[in-house]
Structure 1
Amino acid sequence: MNRHEFSLDLVAPLSTARGRIERREGVLVGIGADGVRGVGEATPLPGWTESIDDCRTALDAVADADAIGGLRAVDDPREPLADAPAAITDPLADAPAARHAVESALLDATGRRRDRSLAALLADRPAATVPVNATLGDAPAAETVAAAIDAVDAGVACLKVKVGVGSLDRDVTRLRSVRAAVGSDVALRADANGAWDRETAREAIEALATLDLAYLEQPLPATDLSGHAALRGRGVDIALDETLAEMPPAAILGADAADVVVLKPMALGGPGRAVRTARSARAAGVDPVVTTTVDAAPARTAAVHVAAAIPEIRPCGLATRDTLATDLCPDPVPVEDGAVAVPDGPGVAGSAFDDLV
């Protein structure tokens, strides 16, 4: 197993519920399977995955395992590591980013060997394009409206507005201003990143119910399943994101705590796991949406394939290349007219990443 570490600065610090992020550090791995090499990316995100140090430790253990040289192209792409020996799977059990890299590399190698794209491995009839949303930060109303208009003019038909930093009145004014500016044909989401208590969240839903919000994302702290469940059915759908970093998807679905789940393949442990989680969510009547963890090109491209493998998916948070000051290679999945074309070459992106690791 070959490895290459990288560090990419962000254009501007990214504020999350877990703090500010100024750069993304990760590891690329190259793994051979049946004589074909695949490439995968591990870019840990604090709070959602293991740390970069723990990621390195997990990948060290996998690289040292004798079995790594005998891996074969996977039989079931939806469970790529099902037949892998414990010497490989055990170190990855608590390291989802490292697992994402290994699983992605095996799927990439399998796709190249079978001359099929990753999306075609994961689904019988994957989509050719995936719609994306634009994310608008916590700027004042006028700036938020200007950014919204720019995004819509560029072809984006779904906007996600960050809320929860200032007062609720301020957020309601911002969202009403955006809705008035872009009209009723543009989907509008709000993301509180777990900032509110139950009373504030209820007040927010009452105030926003007339704006035809597609959903309100993570209004309460991540562990408050019963609180999120109680917010459902009040006129605005509830989406959970950070909660998936705190507890397994089955617990969320079992608690009826969400109308939508936001799936990050890096945090879930790989493309195959993400697609399986999406199918479980749909079976429970919950809609999946796919987002990146502000990844480099290999993982971002793999996330596009994941989204393409989920039928009739809503706009996804895949337009994150512009968040990075630089990338590892030219972007295989640029956004055009509010959508991303899914690479149709073998594996994740053909040979686009071969020189990186």
Structure 2
Amino acid sequence: MNRKELLRIDGLPVLQNRVYPSAESARASPRGTMDLVQDAATGLVFNRAFDPGLLQYDADYQNEQACSSVFRSHLDDVLAIVARNFVKPSLIEVGCGKGYFLRHLRDAGYDAKGVDPAYEGDSPHVVKAAFSPELGLSADAIVLRHVLEHIQDPVHFLSEIARANGGRGRIYIEVPCLAWIRTRRAWFDIFYEHVNYFRADDFNRMFGRIDEMGHVFGGQYLYVVADLATLRQPAGGPDAEFDFPADFMAGIWQCRDIARAFTGNKAIWGASSKGVIFMHHMALAGVEVDLGIDINPVKQGKFMAGTGGQIVSPARAIEVLPAGSLVFVMNSNYFDEIAAQSAQRFRLVKADNNEL
């Protein structure tokens, strides 16, 4: 097969959103190789070295972001897109996580059902299982938020959704945007969990009919509303070619230099995927970070995969970190929220553009 290598990173923690009960168990968590390639036949970008056997999604996998008012506002934006495209009430959210957005959909009047093996609640509207046509679920519309990047064969997975749905219906898909990652040199957004990385043109080649396409969450996420009946195998070609810039990983060294020039305590704010990857690369660069801070209460008191960094609440961080400590903010979308929660106590740096 003709596949062009784009980026290789060895030894990445494989589950950035899985938290651990001790630093030792976190440091012993599985690691894998990221060997990003582009397939010439389809134009799709994916991790050729991906091993699904390394991943275990269970109750310790904590990726709920709705603790943040900023993220809840994003979900309101998503609901508005869904509302203007899906007028019939029957809907399935594939990969509903802990069920926050599913409740949002039901509160908005949708007869919405969810499917997710990592679901922890007791809602009668959620099937705690991996999606498959054998579940016998179908609806007028499908919502697929931040799932497709985790699926080893995304076109086949979409075809299974279409088959389960009788080859009909429309689908809302939301994924991280590879074009944004490239433009922003977002090295901390290259995760082992994400076996695929998508651009807008990938979906234009994947579907014969797209009703709406755009970006949300400050451009970080790409979304499409497409007709499942028009799903097709994408074809590559010169117009689909992709490369990373030569300086894509340079932000690691910029953050390292900022940290080395600072003599006090150091922490990160945001102990999810970006934070775990940031800590991983900083450790390799010889930078010791004291803590990870996160507002999600189920993460607090636990430890991050790879480095074993401890996660604390914002209140605890204010107690234990001296005033003026250096804190890298993992996602600048949350910068104002974090500045308010930290009571302006720390020296905040936006890790995604190294701004003070």
| Class of the TM-score when normalised by the shorter of the 2 chains | 0.3 to 0.5
- Greater share of helix residues, 1 or 2? 1
TM-score by length of 1: 0.34
Q: RCO greater where, 1 or 2, for CA within 8 Å and sep 6 or more?
A: 1
